[in-house]
Structure 1
Amino acid sequence: MVRWIRSLRWFKVLRFGRRGSRGKSNPDGTMPLIEHLYELRFRLAMAFAAVLVGAIIGFIWFDFGPGPIPTLSALITGPYCSLPTDMRFEANDGTCQLMQTTAFEVVGLRFQLAFASGAVLSSPFWLYQIWAFITPGLYAKERKFAGIFVGCASVLFIFGAVLAYLVAPEGLYFMASFGAGNFFTALTGGAYVGFILLLLMIFGISFELPLLIVMLNRAGVLPYAKLKKWWRGIVFGLFVFAAFATPGQDPLSMVVLACALVLLFGIASQFARVHDKRKARKLAAAGLTELDPDTPSEVDTTPSELPPPDRNRYDDTP
């Protein structure tokens, strides 16, 4: 029985992935291409398993909240249920509810929320799997900066998602108030959950802007001088992006997202300014000057004194 289980394909995937692990066979991280593929397959399998475990926890969390933490269903319906009672749908017992227009629609929504929450809950583990696959190929300095960037990216995404969750009730109230008290907002579960998840995703990804600017600045692609020169166009572009990116198209979400991005852009620009000043001081201390990639290099036109060519060297006469 044990021999039959070990012959299963999925077990071989994990076993070969472990056998090709860089940490055991090669301490320096070098291995042939096939071993890299085994390692990648193993890391992807572990990351998927972590997301699956998180999805199971999220599926249970949908109805049962651990301790003082509210249930997942209460969190996701919080922005809608914060609307005044005359603007939303209520059951006969006064509970706030969303509409289900198709059979078993709530089943699909529950699985969708379970996998979304599972990806968030298990993010430290699957991010570690990505990090463990990449880090052996980096230098010590690159590993330090990569670890900082991964941590900052996670924190910025969380801040963006939290801000979106706080803005969502005000945006819903603004859009629902156009009915002048003659309509109530009876949202379907699929449309509402899709709107909330998309809003959280857009805010979270948009908050990665300062990290992108700092990375390009450290790579020498985007110096502070260009940021200072282009800041008006960049600010205008951020407002245009916020106007098209927000799914609800309400002005409050647009303005909040645009103002947050402008603030993050200003903070990232200051990091770029400090980095460029520090880099200029180091070059000056070493007696060097920073080269401008747009400036052509000088060509030495001074004639060189070379000895006359040896013609007998190319003489093939016997």
Structure 2
Amino acid sequence: MLKTARRSKESKDPEGRMPLGEHLRELRNRLMKAVLAILVVTVVAAFFQKEIFDFLLRPILSSVGCPDGASVAANGKPCAIIKTDTLLSPFTIALKVALMSGVLVATPVWLYQLWAFVAPGLHSHERKYAYVFVAVGAPLFLGGAWVAYEIIPQTAEIMLGFSPVNVQNQIALDAYLDLVTRMVIVFGLAFELPLFLVGLNFAGVFPGKRMLGWWRGMVLALTLFAAVATPGGDPLSMLLLAGPLCVLYFIAVGISIANDARRRRNNPDAALSDDEASDLDLTPEALGEVESVAPPRALPEQASGEHNDRRTNGYDDIT
């Protein structure tokens, strides 16, 4: 069995080419490893569900939580209590939280499995850029998730401010967790915008100067997006989302402009106009053909210095 495995590794194409059946089997193995990692982390998270619940409920309970079931907090502002609807709700919600934690914590594992499946089909420079994008994209997503977690208290206070007097607010636990999950995903993906713009620039789709010309429209679009993405719609929550997005946008524009300048320095034809042809250097040195061509091999009679009218196997030299 070891010899068979060794032969399979030696016969593997270094460029990652393989039949369709091999691709499907490798995809199946990668998916199984990713799912197994998620299941293992989910089982471990199930033993710490109390700590996870405390972490997720801390923002809303610290801001609008009701003391001892009262309808109004000590400062006179409306408050809320967290409730469940059915007998099975605590169990199903615990499973949902454990699974969500498993997917998030096992992200490095299933991202690596996805990368290991795609990487053999990429060139060396494409792999280098992919490493950089993954290394930068993960902190950006975590930054967006942190902003979403931090604005939950302000959002809860503003939304409960519309409650009538002497009305007890009850928030379903599963609905609250769904809201937190949506906010984390939306804010995390929104923080990936500069990485997406830089990727388009590196691919040659948009130059940096064109992106800079969009700054008025982009600032307005990011502000409108922040107003829609934040549930409360208050100015503080909008600024907490729109401000970092605008800063990241201008950082992406600066990186794109620097990349365009680097391309112009490395391009000898950058100063030419669109209707001007570049000079072609067809010398062997420019084309990389610097090796000398070996002279034709002489016939045995020619190599020995005999007369050219000698025949070999019935054929003369010309034949």
Measured after TM superposition, the shift of residue 143 of structure 1 is: 0.7
Q: What SS does the aligned partner of 1:25 have?
A: coil
Of 30, 47, 55, which aligns to 1:75?
55
Residue correspondence of structure 1 range 173-188 to structure 2 within 5 A: 173-179=157-163, 182-188=166-172
Partner residue, 1:60: 47
Residue correspondence of structure 1 range 1-318 to structure 2 within 5 A: 25-63=12-50, 71-86=51-66, 89=69, 98-179=82-163, 182-283=166-267, 286-289=268-271
Please say if residues 65 and 81 of structure 2, whose CA atoms lie closer than 8 Å, have aligned partners that are also in contact: no
**Residue-by-residue CA offset, 1:61-103 (whole Å, 9 max, x unaligned):** 203xxxxxxx101011111111255589479xxxx96201223
**Residue-by-residue CA offset, 1:214-260 (whole Å, 9 max, x unaligned):** 00011111111111211111111111222223345444333321222
Q: Residue 181 and residue 208 in structure 1: after superposition, are their counterparts in 2 closer, same or farther (change >3 A)? A: same
Partner residue, 2:294: none
Structure-1 separation of matches of 2:191 and 2:220:
17
Structure-1 separation of matches of 2:20 and 2:68:
58
Q: Residue 174 and residue 289 in structure 1: after superposition, are their counterparts in 2 closer, same or farther (change >3 A)? A: same
- Give 2:207's aligned amino acid: P
- Give 1:72's aligned amino acid: I
Structure-2 separation of matches of 1:268 and 1:151:
16
Q: Residue 281 and residue 26 in structure 1: after superposition, are their counterparts in 2 closer, same or farther (change >3 A)? A: closer
RMSD: 2.8
Q: What SS does the aligned partner of 1:276 have?
A: helix
Q: Residue 20 and residue 273 in structure 1: after superposition, are their counterparts in 2 closer, same or farther (change >3 A)? A: farther
Partner residue, 1:10: none
Measured after TM superposition, the shift of residue 179 of structure 1 is: 3.5
Which structure 1 residue ranges, 5 or more long, are not aligned? 1-17, 64-70, 300-318
**Residue-by-residue CA offset, 1:91-138 (whole Å, 9 max, x unaligned):** 9xxxx9620122311222111111111011101111100110111111
Which structure 2 residue ranges, 5 or more long, are not aligned? 72-79, 278-319
Partner residue, 2:304: none
TM-score of the pair, normalised by structure 1: 0.75
Please say if residues 193 and 249 of structure 2, whose CA atoms lie closer than 8 Å, have aligned partners that are also in contact: yes
Aligned length: 265
Structure-2 separation of matches of 1:271 and 1:59:
43
Structure-2 separation of matches of 1:142 and 1:82:
47
Moved more, 120-129 or 180-189: 180-189
- Give 1:127's aligned amino acid: L
Q: Residue 19 and residue 36 in structure 1: after superposition, are their counterparts in 2 closer, same or farther (change >3 A)? A: farther
Q: Residue 24 and residue 256 in structure 1: after superposition, are their counterparts in 2 closer, same or farther (change >3 A)? A: farther
- Give 2:270's aligned amino acid: L
Please say if residues 238 and 258 of structure 1, whose CA atoms lie closer than 8 Å, have aligned partners that are also in contact: yes
**Residue-by-residue CA offset, 1:265-291 (whole Å, 9 max, x unaligned):** 1111111111112222222xx243478
Please say if residues 20 and 38 of structure 1, whose CA atoms lie closer than 8 Å, have aligned partners that are also in contact: no
TM-score of the pair, normalised by structure 2: 0.75
- Give 1:27's aligned amino acid: P
